[in-house]
């Protein structure tokens, strides 16, 4: 509980170190439902998920779907090349095809996890890059904390997060700050929930 209190105090102080023009971008909500089915022992599985991303402040709604294989290369690393689609992507709310690669590294009996995601969104008008990178430490079976960064083309936002994990369900509260003026100067909280069956 002490760690949660320290986390909340630090998060509350971050905005005060910036000028008043450092804007609040609104709470973000992200919900993911997915799962995977083994194909060959514990080495190969098929996975898929759908996601909804929402910023209620400006009525933004984006939808994403992914499907592909998950290959457990070793006990401590898996890789998942995927394809998918997105609806309402970006300011122009476009539909786009997704080519994606996810990689996860696990150390110390799954207590420390490093996750890397790289997506390219393509259609006749755009070719955007999206990246999500995180480092998580699981203190107990159901509680963890870490840092994450999110990239859209040249813009990068980053910050800490805390979360709880149950058998199929997980919840994270993520804080993001962006310090690139004219790209993503501001800060936000994201509430991330996931229901995942495997």
Query: pLDDT exceeding 70 applies to what percent of the chain?
Result: 89
Q: HSE, CB side, 13 Å, CA atoms: give it for residue 144.
A: 22
In which band, very low, low, confident or very high, does the pLDDT at 14 lie, cut at 50, 70 and 90?
A: very low
DSSP string, 163-183: EEE-SSEEEEEEEEEE--TTT
Task: Judge contact between 89 and 107, C-beta under 8 A.
Answer: no
Listed in sequence order, the DSSP H helices in the chain are: 2-13
Q: What is the mean pLDDT of residues 48-58?
A: 94
Tokens representing residue 160 in the block: 């800490």
Residue 109 Cα distances to 76, 139, 143, 146, 187, angstroms: 9, 12, 15, 17, 34
pLDDT greater than 90 at residue 64: yes
Whole-number pLDDT of residue 9: 42
Task: Judge contact between 64 and 98, C-beta under 8 A.
Answer: yes
Query: pLDDT by residue (tens digit) across 21-44?
Result: 557 788 999 999 999 999 998 899
- The two beta strands, 169-178 and 155-165, are antiparallel
Reported as type and span, the H/E element at residue 76 is none
Whole-number pLDDT of residue 22: 57
Rounded distance between C-alpha atoms, residue 173 and residue 5, angstroms: 14
Distance of alpha carbon 112 from the chain centroid: 17
Task: Judge contact between 69 and 43, C-beta under 8 A.
Answer: no
pLDDT greater than 50 at residue 48: yes
């Amino acid at each position: 509980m002490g760690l949660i209190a320290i986390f909340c105090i630090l998060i509350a102080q971050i905005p005060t170190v910036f000028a008043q023009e450092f804007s609040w971008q609104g709470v973000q909500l992200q919900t993911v439902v997915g799962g995977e089915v083994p194909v060959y022992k514990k080495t190969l599985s098929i996975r898929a998920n759908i996601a909804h991303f929402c910023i209620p402040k400006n009525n933004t709604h984006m939808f994403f779907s992914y499907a592909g294989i998950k290959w457990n290369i070793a006990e401590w690393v898996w890789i998942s090349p995927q394809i998918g689609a997105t609806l309402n992507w970006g300011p122009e709310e476009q539909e786009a095809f997704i080519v994606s690669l996810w990689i996860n590294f696990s150390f110390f009996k799954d207590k420390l996890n490093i996750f890397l995601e790289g997506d390219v969104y393509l259609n006749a008008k755009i070719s955007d890059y999206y990246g999500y990178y995180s480092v998580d430490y699981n203190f107990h079976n159901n509680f963890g904390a870490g840092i994450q960064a999110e990239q859209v083309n040249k813009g990068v936002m980053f910050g800490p997060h805390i979360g709880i994990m149950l058998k199929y369900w997980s919840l994270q509260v993520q804080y993001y700050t962006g310090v690139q003026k004219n790209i993503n100067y501001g800060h936000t909280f994201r509430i991330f929930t996931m229901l995942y069956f495997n």
